[in-house]
Homo-oligomer: A and B are copies of this chain.
Amino acid sequence: MKVFVRNVARTKCLPISQLQLRSFATASESSRIPKINADRFHKTLHETCEKYGAAHRYGQRSDETGMARLTLNDDDIAVRKWLEKEMEKVGCTLKVDSMGNMFFIRPGSKANKALPVAMGSHLDTQPMGGRYDGILGIMAAVEAMRTMHDHNVQTNGPIALINWTNEEGARFSKSMCGSSVWSGQLSEEEAHSLIDVHDKKTTMGQELERSGYLGKMKAHHTAMPLAAHFELHIEQGPILERANGKVGVVQGGQAYKWIQVTINGRECHTGSTPFEDRADAMQSAAKIIVMSKKYARKQGGLASTGLLSVFPSSVNTCPGKVTFTLDVRHKNDASLEAILFEIEREAERICKEESERGTKMDWKISFASTAVKFNANCHSAIQQAAERYVKPEEIMPIISGAGHDSCAASIRCPTAMIFVPSKNGLSHHPEEYTSPEDCAIGAQVLMDSVLTYDQQHV
């Protein structure tokens, strides 16, 4: 490999104690590649979780909690302020756009014309979230910036760390929200007018203003173009763990759609209304939920219901109205459309034929994300980087089940993601867990990938 690390201050190398990274690089390569400080990284990850949004304790150890750091709540604001301070210490400058997306830029050696190679992810979490989803990607990027600073690494182009706003869509119901405005897939106006799901009086625009993160720069890829976007993330599924994989080279993301389904029936008394006189919205909803899974499974996709509301809510009244969500996914767009077509048609039939007096369905697509293919040059950089630290059989191509900021980024710049294993495939859960060793491998591969890409393509 090329010598892309210059002026390495070898005396600054920090101990990596228990969290030793294996190295499959040659001795000469190895000596030139800065190693991240896995101890510092581990400590930073958990200390910031503890201070900014820890919740849902499940064990005695200090790191045995989940997270509830919802977009632009006080904990999210506080961790953003912490990030500003830390990035200033390592010589980064900050640009904030009108979506609160934060771009920390470390200058490169080339003059102004080179675009930054970015390491992006998100600091917000689900209300019952864990310590790794999103946070790992940012904290690994923090460690990469610190390591580059410690070792005085000089890159061709600038390197960016990006904290994308509201990736989860848990507080303001659009996931990949900040990155989608940047990519031009979502209008700033629509994003700003999103309403807090727990407080109907508050919009995202108001919270951006209150937090001080309503930046003056337009949230758009033309205002802040990138050379490439890399993201380290936990897999959130069981595939790597099962296959004893260590690094997933993410090929792309599943296509998916969210559907808001409303079933209108007729409320009636549970005791005095024979079945033949009912238009029971709950029965229709339950049948559609069961059926949607069956149809998705048949075609190798996924279908899930995460939200359901009943109206009116009374134990002895059959609901006149039930609303629920369907989250349907498949790795390719055409198959997703085929599944959705079948589910919708069958749902219509259930409402018409299986409810005695007939319920009515309203089917509204609230979010759509086409299948994403990541960039071959980015894959190559990740593959080269990963091969330095893990065995070839521990590196796996993988498809992302979830949506990520990288999916939005990928339509505007070369993009790829790195996955590390999730214990029991658990995610969106307080107990989601990735071992310190796996986190460290991920962070090292992230930094190496970015440096490799910078050397090869900037």
Interface residues of A (CB under 8 A from B): 126-128, 169-170, 173, 175, 197, 235-239, 254, 256, 258, 266-275, 277, 280, 282-283, 285-287, 289-290, 293, 297, 302, 304-308, 310, 312-320, 325, 327, 329, 400-403, 424-429
Report yes or no: B175 in contact with A273, Cβ–Cβ below 8 A: no
Report yes or no: B302 in contact with A306, Cβ–Cβ below 8 A: no
A-B pairs with beta carbons under 8 Å apart, 14 shown: A128-B320, A169-B315, A169-B316, A173-B315, A238-B273, A238-B274, A270-B302, A283-B293, A286-B286, A305-B319, A307-B310, A307-B315, A308-B308, A316-B428
Report yes or no: B266 in contact with A426, Cβ–Cβ below 8 A: yes
Report yes or no: B282 in contact with A306, Cβ–Cβ below 8 A: yes
Report yes or no: B270 in contact with A306, Cβ–Cβ below 8 A: yes
Contact of A127 among B266, B314, B329 (CB under 8 A): B314
CB-CB nearest in chain B for A283: B293
Q: How far is the CA of A283 from the CA of B308 in the complex (A)?
A: 12
Report yes or no: A310 in contact with B316, Cβ–Cβ below 8 A: no
Report yes or no: B317 in contact with A428, Cβ–Cβ below 8 A: yes
Report yes or no: B273 in contact with A427, Cβ–Cβ below 8 A: yes
Report yes or no: B270 in contact with A315, Cβ–Cβ below 8 A: no
Q: How far is the CA of A282 from the CA of B326 in the complex (A)?
A: 12
Report yes or no: A272 in contact with B429, Cβ–Cβ below 8 A: no
Report yes or no: A127 in contact with B312, Cβ–Cβ below 8 A: yes
Given A238-B277, A282-B289, 20 additional A-B pairs, CB 8 A: A126-B317, A128-B267, A173-B315, A238-B273, A254-B271, A256-B271, A270-B302, A270-B304, A270-B329, A271-B329, A273-B425, A273-B427, A274-B425, A275-B293, A275-B297, A283-B293, A306-B314, A306-B317, A307-B315, A308-B310
Q: How far is the CA of A280 from the CA of B429 in the complex (A)?
A: 13
Contacts A290-B290, A329-B270 given: A313-B307 contact, CB under 8 Å? yes
Q: List residues of chain B with CB within 8 A of the CB of A127.
A: 312, 314
Report yes or no: B306 in contact with A316, Cβ–Cβ below 8 A: yes
Contacts A268-B427, A283-B289, A314-B127 given: A237-B274 contact, CB under 8 Å? yes
Q: How far is the CA of A7 from the CA of B371 in the complex (A)?
A: 88
Q: How far is the CA of A443 from the CA of B169 in the complex (A)?
A: 57
CB-CB nearest in chain B for A280: B304
Q: List residues of chain B with CB within 8 A of the CB of A427.
A: 268-269, 272-273
Q: List residues of chain B with CB within 8 A of the CB of A273.
A: 236-238, 302, 401, 425, 427
Report yes or no: A272 in contact with B425, Cβ–Cβ below 8 A: yes
Q: How far is the CA of A304 from the CA of B319 in the complex (A)?
A: 9
Q: How far is the CA of A173 from the CA of B315 in the complex (A)?
A: 9
Most buried by B among A175, A313, A426: A313
Contacts A280-B304, A289-B283, A290-B287 given: A272-B315 contact, CB under 8 Å? no
Q: How far is the CA of A256 from the CA of B318 in the complex (A)?
A: 15
Contact of A306 among B237, B277, B310, B402 (CB under 8 A): B310
Contact of A316 among B280, B287, B402, B429 (CB under 8 A): B402
Contacts A272-B401, A273-B237, A289-B286 given: A170-B314 contact, CB under 8 Å? yes
Contacts A269-B401, A277-B238, A401-B271 given: A429-B320 contact, CB under 8 Å? yes
Report yes or no: A428 in contact with B267, Cβ–Cβ below 8 A: yes
Q: List residues of chain B with CB within 8 A of the CB of A429.
A: 266-268, 320
- Going nearest first, the 9 A-B pairs with the smallest beta carbon separation are A272-B401, A236-B272, A237-B272, A271-B402, A270-B304, A271-B401, A286-B286, A286-B289, A317-B428
Contacts A238-B277, A275-B297, A308-B282 given: A316-B327 contact, CB under 8 Å? yes
Q: List residues of chain B with CB within 8 A of the CB of A266.
A: 426, 429
Contact of A236 among B128, B173, B269, B283 (CB under 8 A): B269
Report yes or no: A126 in contact with B314, Cβ–Cβ below 8 A: yes
A391 shortest CB reach to chain B, Å: 24
Report yes or no: B277 in contact with A327, Cβ–Cβ below 8 A: no
A163 shortest CB reach to chain B, Å: 20
A110 shortest CB reach to chain B, Å: 38
